[in-house]
A and B are shown apart, each in its own frame.
Chain A
């Protein structure tokens, strides 16, 4: 349990962001989690079980792939961390697996989760099936319509999918409903939050479960390049779970530039965007102090992105801190730029990325690299779930 400059402090803060802004009804659960998560997750038996399952069930370590043609195009060395090859198709399962093992050790019997595009819902339903635990996933009623295949996957895996019909009926409302469910069922239920958002200790806990991504990058880069650190790590940021996983081991290593891709939707100034660091202000969302998109009166604004997984009005407090102190740089990527990058990666590398992930690839065109620099892109998810959106987009644009 190393102390990091960019790690969480004892009050649950990353710099001035974080904390646990929760109603009293959630206090005992959050307090229990806060007091026990580190002790439980660093127990030897926990680590053994977690890593065994990461290996045998998730398929870790995921490859670090040298993308030759993409590298040629950009005149540098680009590696892809293939989180898209994880079981269930994205990095999300690292966290759901970790949290369900933790929930079992806390004596919890039931699991709840929120989901936007359905990826975290599927990853949660999957580990619940694995562990034989009851699973309820809250999903915005609008998203249920947009993401039918993932809804059906969750049902096949034995989960109950409950529509969130409040507010804008998307990810933030699904999160609200999951929190309300937890308030109503505090003792036997654990809430598996799907990103590095929410009250302390969630952002730190979820970061730690995903830190395996950058642990592996270190080892794999050493094999391939004879050094542990790349010059750049690039990842897409909605709440920011795959990004923090890829950054984690490099947070204190200033040689490594940390780059985030935010969803700019139709454009930063279009009124239909999810570029939180540009459009947001400091405030409190879902239990932590962070940067969020809001009206001048402090009402939460509904964001837009073509990728449902980046369609979130805030970012995790750790990212708000990295942004605030200038440790990470965030690029806004429009829907069109992301889609173009998604098509390009498919054509020149044979990898169809999730549209969330495609945002990270779109950053490449905005940057200048030197010939021998090493760039690692976290290829956080695969695009199977997005085929309809890709097809529709092609048809609309006449591609």
Chain B
């Protein structure tokens, strides 16, 4: 069992997963962000490995990725920054990113390094299921690394069942037909999609992502799944100008999601 399995074993509601782009706003912010996310009450963290051509992402994550690359972030540097992270952070950590940088780094080396620093799983949105089964699964399984698959409102029931079968951590439910970063209230259509998936009696827990930006949308999503994932809204909070430290920005943001008020974090 890895840390993701433990998390879902011990907690089934209101799980808050936060995505951020490694190397943003500054190259060396990674550890500070991780430590403060845990401290503020995030349950799970998705560390984004920046890529030059992120086709599934909207503007916010595109821009944070560009900035991170300009700052000099790479998989190599990220692993250096994560060395010893398990002495200070014990919530599950997932690496998320596009396939090409991983292939160039070398898959075996990537898995080895990830295991050494204490990563629990991966989200590789452009890794197709059949490629995963043929070339990745055995290696990931050997190291107890979970691969997380996405489903969307368009994903067929048959395919969802197949994804449920080959998943062992959770299923990432994309809330709408969209790239990341779009917000708005859930529509009837989305709610019926959430209900449809709930009714499928899947083995894996589910987190809803895309379009989750505040307490209201987090709570709404959590009613229909085991929790939700926030990315763009968190990156925007980190990007805000001003005097606030990373610790303060992270604390304020997570408190807003959990309590609906930023005052409480300082209260």
Interface residue? A27 (CB, 8 A): yes
Check B102–A298 contact: CB distance below 8 A.
yes
Contacts of A284 in B (CB 8 A): 98-100, 103, 126
Contacts of B159 in A (CB 8 A): 27
Interface residue? A20 (CB, 8 A): yes
Q: How far is the CA of A173 from the CA of B57 in the complex (A)?
A: 13
Contacts of B128 in A (CB 8 A): 19-22
Check A24–B150 contact: CB distance below 8 A.
yes
Check B104–A25 contact: CB distance below 8 A.
no
Chain A: CB-nearest residue to B74: A297
Check A186–B177 contact: CB distance below 8 A.
yes
Contact of A25 among B62, B75, B152 (CB under 8 A): B152
- Give 7 closest A-B pairs by Cβ, nearest first: A298-B104, A298-B101, A24-B150, A23-B125, A23-B56, A299-B52, A28-B154
Interface segment among A101-109, A176-184, A225-233, A270-278: the answer is A176-184
Interface residue? B156 (CB, 8 A): yes
Q: How far is the CA of A173 from the CA of B63 in the complex (A)?
A: 13
What is the minimal beta-carbon distance from B89 to any residue of chain A, in angstroms? 25
Check B99–A300 contact: CB distance below 8 A.
no
What is the minimal beta-carbon distance from A70 to any residue of chain B, in angstroms? 40
Extra pairs beyond A184-B178, A187-B154, A287-B126 (9, CB < 8 Å): A21-B131, A23-B125, A24-B151, A24-B152, A25-B154, A183-B178, A284-B100, A297-B104, A298-B105
What is the minimal beta-carbon distance from A37 to any residue of chain B, in angstroms? 18
Check B131–A25 contact: CB distance below 8 A.
no
Question: Interface code A282-315, partner B: CB below 8 Å = 1, 0 otherwise?
Answer: 1111110000101011111000000000000000
Q: List 18 A-B contacts (CB under 8 A).
A: A20-B128, A21-B128, A21-B131, A24-B125, A24-B149, A25-B179, A28-B154, A167-B52, A283-B104, A284-B98, A284-B100, A284-B126, A297-B104, A298-B101, A298-B102, A298-B103, A298-B105, A300-B100
What is the minimal beta-carbon distance from A353 to any residue of chain B, in angstroms? 31
Q: In this complex, which of B131, B154, B155 has the most chain A Cβ atoms within 10 angstroms of its Cβ?
A: B154
Q: How far is the CA of A27 from the CA of B125 in the complex (A)?
A: 11
Contacts of A19 in B (CB 8 A): 128, 131
Secondary structure type dominating chain B contacts = loop
Contact of B154 among A22, A186, A285 (CB under 8 A): A186
Contact of A176 among B55, B75, B152 (CB under 8 A): B55
What is the minimal beta-carbon distance from B183 to any residue of chain A, in angstroms? 14
Interface residue? A87 (CB, 8 A): no
What is the minimal beta-carbon distance from A367 to any residue of chain B, in angstroms? 34
Given contacts A284-B126, A297-B101, A298-B101, whether A23 and B55 have CB atoms under 8 Å apart is: yes
Check B174–A24 contact: CB distance below 8 A.
yes
What is the minimal beta-carbon distance from A332 to any residue of chain B, in angstroms? 23
Q: How far is the CA of A24 from the CA of B123 in the complex (A)?
A: 12
Q: How far is the CA of A296 from the CA of B182 in the complex (A)?
A: 33
Interface residue? A366 (CB, 8 A): no
Contacts of A27 in B (CB 8 A): 152, 154-155, 159
Interface residue? A185 (CB, 8 A): yes
Check B99–A21 contact: CB distance below 8 A.
yes
Q: How far is the CA of A377 from the CA of B103 in the complex (A)?
A: 37
Q: How far is the CA of A285 from the CA of B131 in the complex (A)?
A: 15
Check A167–B131 contact: CB distance below 8 A.
no
Question: Interface code A231-272, partner B: CB below 8 Å = 1, 0 otherwise?
Answer: 000000000000000000000000000000000000000000
Check A183–B69 contact: CB distance below 8 A.
no
Chain A: CB-nearest residue to B155: A24
Question: Interface code A142-186, partner B: CB below 8 Å = 1, 0 otherwise?
Answer: 000000000000000000000000110000110010011001111
Q: In this complex, which of B51, B53, B102, B174 has the most chain A Cβ atoms within 10 angstroms of its Cβ?
A: B53
Contact of A180 among B58, B76, B105 (CB under 8 A): B58
Contacts of A287 in B (CB 8 A): 126
Contacts of B177 in A (CB 8 A): 25, 183-187
Contacts of A20 in B (CB 8 A): 128
Interface residue? A281 (CB, 8 A): yes
What is the minimal beta-carbon distance from A104 to any residue of chain B, in angstroms? 21
Contact of B75 among A186, A187, A297 (CB under 8 A): A297
Those of B66-108 within 8 Å (CB) of chain A? 66, 69, 74-76, 98-105
Contact of B66 among A167, A187, A297 (CB under 8 A): A167
Contacts of A282 in B (CB 8 A): 103
Interface residue? A11 (CB, 8 A): yes
Contact of A183 among B100, B131, B179 (CB under 8 A): B179
Contacts of B130 in A (CB 8 A): 11
What is the minimal beta-carbon distance from A11 to any residue of chain B, in angstroms? 7
Contacts of A172 in B (CB 8 A): 53
Those of A316-348 within 8 Å (CB) of chain B? none
Contacts of A22 in B (CB 8 A): 126, 128
Contacts of B62 in A (CB 8 A): 166-167
What is the minimal beta-carbon distance from B203 to any residue of chain A, in angstroms? 19
Check B75–A283 contact: CB distance below 8 A.
no
What is the minimal beta-carbon distance from A123 to any residue of chain B, in angstroms? 23
Q: How far is the CA of A296 from the CA of B104 in the complex (A)?
A: 7
Check B174–A25 contact: CB distance below 8 A.
yes
Contacts of A299 in B (CB 8 A): 51-52, 69, 101
Contacts of B125 in A (CB 8 A): 23-24
Chain B: CB-nearest residue to A25: B152
